[in-house]
Structure formats: structure tokens, C-alpha cells
Amino acid sequence: MSRGRILSGMRPTGKLHIGHLSVLENWIKLQNEYDCFFCVADWHALTTSFDEAGNINANAREMVIDWLASGLDPDKAVVFVQSDVPQHAELHLLFSMITPLGWLERVPTYKDQIRHHHQKGKDIMNYGFLGYPVLQAADILVYRADTVPVGEDQLPHLELCREIGRRFNHLYKPVFPEPQAKLAQVALLPGVDGRKMSKSYANDLTISADPEELRKKVNAMVTDPGRIRKTDPGNPEICVVHKYHGIYTAPELSTIEEDCRQGNIGCAACKKILAGKLDETTSPIRERRQRIVQDPGYVDDVLREGARKAREEAQLTMDMAREAVFGA
């Protein structure tokens, strides 16, 4: 029996946050069960960062290093950069002919993002940004992928992808499957100050942070403000450290909660436990990262080989798609 096929991707944002670890762990599991294509969506980055294009390559590289250091295996999965595979752009163009504007304007994230960028003084009402989900549909369908591991926020994009594929199949010939989302349990971790984790708030914790930085960031995490002395009974529900313990110290979570409520543990000690756990979890990744960075040709080789495999598969689809539209 042939295996299912997966495509997923991330926009190149540079070094990944610790919250991405659960996404990557899922990918790493899937690479053993499916034929997997994992794509650095650099053209997607360009839809909003067209004026900072010079950062995209370096960010892509840092992100791929994090992928590989976390255990993504280029011998199992095809790891590549979107813009190295021009077939994505070609299919995007064909899809753009059959995608009604109304479908794109109705995507909930479209107006949100326009507003979000507008507030920061930036206008992204460009043709390319409107077409963001069309490009994403091309990413998925150019490999005829049937399964797409994504977070819940991407469901509207995936629904649109199915609609575009369906319309193509109906207008021309059945070429494309209807890919299904594979929702993984993703840990939504706040930044150290309790707000959304973001580089621009400087409240983020990267996967590759060294032990000293981990310790500093954990010390900066906001705790129950009502606790002055370590014997004060605490309320772990309102504490950022507690949220992290829920993921990284899961087996001992109830003990920590109890000790906090009873005033048996001080926040400094509680943070020390967390910093230790985070270090334990990320130190193998840091070690692998170190080795990867020392061999700069390695990442180039991985991406070159990934692009070669991706292009080969994508071209098979494009042959079918062109034939469906224009005839043999």
C-alpha cells in the first residue's frame, strides 16, 4: 500500500520559538509514517516583507537549522525552500485564473492582517498578499498531498485550497486530491511577560537559547503577583511559569501546583526547576545545532538535494495540470 503524502510549511521567521517545538515534534513523528515535503515558505514571507527581502535568506537558514537540529531527517523527508521550486509559482498562476476574488476577500485572516499591518503603518493591500492562500494551495497541491499538518489558524486556508482544487478538477480534469488537515495538539505558550510570544516584544524563548539565557528568561517570567514571601499561598493558574511546567514538567505538575497553593515552594525554586527542565529538553537540540553550524556546506547540500527531489515531483503534477488545461 502506498503511504499518504504530507506537505507542510512555515514562513521563515529566523530562530524558532520554543512553542514551535511541539509542531516540529509532530513533523518528526510524521516523517516515519508518510512521504513528507517540508517547505520554507519564503515567497509567503515576501507577501508582507517585500520591503525587507534582504533578511529572508538568513531567516530561512536559521529556521532550517532548527528543523534539522530538532530531528527532521533529510533522508526521510524532503526539506526545501519554496522559491527553489518554480513549479509552485506556475501552479499559483493557473490557480489564480480560477479563484474568484470574493473567496479571497472572505478569508478571515485577510482583513485581520491588513488591519494589523495598517496599525503598524504598513500597507500590504497588494495583489500578492491577496493571493497568499492561492500560493498556499499551490504549495500543497503541486505535490498532490492528501494530508496537511497545520494549526487551527490555517483551517480557512486549507478549506480554500480544497475549493480551488475542486474547481480545477471540475473545469478541466480531475488532477488534485482533497487534502485534509491534520490538527496536532500545539502548545500555546505565552511570552515571559504573559503576552503573545513575539520577537518584537523581546519576550520570546528560542529553541536554541543557551542555559544562561534560559535561566534569565525564566527568571523574567511573571508569576502570581500576590506572592511576596515564599510562604504566601499562591495561585498557579495566573502564573506563566506554571503554564510552562504544564508542558515541560508534566509528571510533577500536580506536586508543584500543590506546593504553590500551600506556600511550600518559593517562586525562585519553582523557576529553577523549570529552567532545569527546559535545559534538559533543549540541550540535545543545541548540541546538534552546534555540529550543523560548524559544517556550513551541510545545510546547502540538504536544501539543494531537497529542491531537486521537490522539483521532480512537482513537475509531474505540472505536466498533468498543463495537459488538463491546454490539452496534450
Q: If binding is defined by CB under 6 A, does position 144 make contact with ligand TRP?
A: no
Nearer to ligand TRP, 117 or 216 (CB): 117
Site for ligand SF4 in 249-288 (CB under 6 A): 260, 265, 267, 270-271
- DSSP code string of 184-207: -----PBPTTSSB--GGGT---BT
> How far is residue 238's CA from residue 235's CA, in Å, rounded to a whole number?
6
Residue 13 sits in the site that holds ligand TRP (CB under 6 A):
no
Binder of residue 136, out of ligand SF4, ligand TRP, none (CB less than 5 to 8 A by kind): ligand TRP
Give strand pairing partners of 183: 150
227 binds ligand SF4 (CB under 6 A): yes
Contacts of 324 (CB under 8 A, 6+ apart): 168, 172, 173, 175
Contact 79, 67 (CB under 8 A): yes
Adjacent-strand bridge partners of 204 = none
Q: Answer yes or no whether residue 15 interacts with ligand SF4 by CB under 6 A.
A: no
Question: Site residues for ligand TRP, window 32-51 (CB under 6 A)?
Answer: 41, 44
Task: Select from ligand TRP, ligand SF4, none the partner in contact with residue 165, using the beta carbon and a kind-dependent cut-off of 5 to 8 Å.
Answer: none
E strand or H helix at 160: helix 155-171
What is the C-alpha to C-alpha distance for residues 58 and 13, in angstroms, rounded to an integer? 9
Yes or no: say if 14 and 62 are a contact pair by the CB < 8 Å rule. Answer: yes
Contacts of 36 (CB under 8 A, 6+ apart): 5, 6, 7, 8, 27, 30, 76, 77, 78
User: Toward ligand SF4, which CB reaches closer, 76 or 227?
Assistant: 227
- CB neighbour burial string for 142-165, b if at least 16 within 10 angstroms, e if fewer: bbbbbbbbbeeebeebbebbbbbb
Q: How far is the CB of 136 from ligand TRP (least distance, A)?
A: 4
56 near ligand SF4, judged by CB under 6 A: no
Residue 242, interface with ligand SF4 (CB under 6 A)?
A: yes
Question: Any contact of residue 79 with ligand SF4 (CB under 6 A)?
Answer: no
CA distance 61 to 120: 27
148 binds ligand TRP (CB under 6 A): yes
Residue with cell 515571559: 192
Q: Which does 260 bind (CB under 5 to 8 A by kind): ligand SF4, ligand TRP, none?
A: ligand SF4
Partner whose footprint covers residue 7, from ligand TRP, ligand SF4, none (CB < 5 to 8 Å by kind): ligand TRP
Q: Does 11 bind ligand TRP (CB under 6 A)?
A: yes
Q: Does 138 interact with ligand SF4 (rule: CB under 6 A)?
A: no
| Chain positions contacting ligand SF4, by CB under 6 A | 223-224, 227, 234, 236, 239, 241-242, 260, 265, 267, 270-271
Q: Which residues bind ligand TRP (CB under 6 A)?
A: 7-11, 41, 44, 136, 139-140, 148, 150, 154
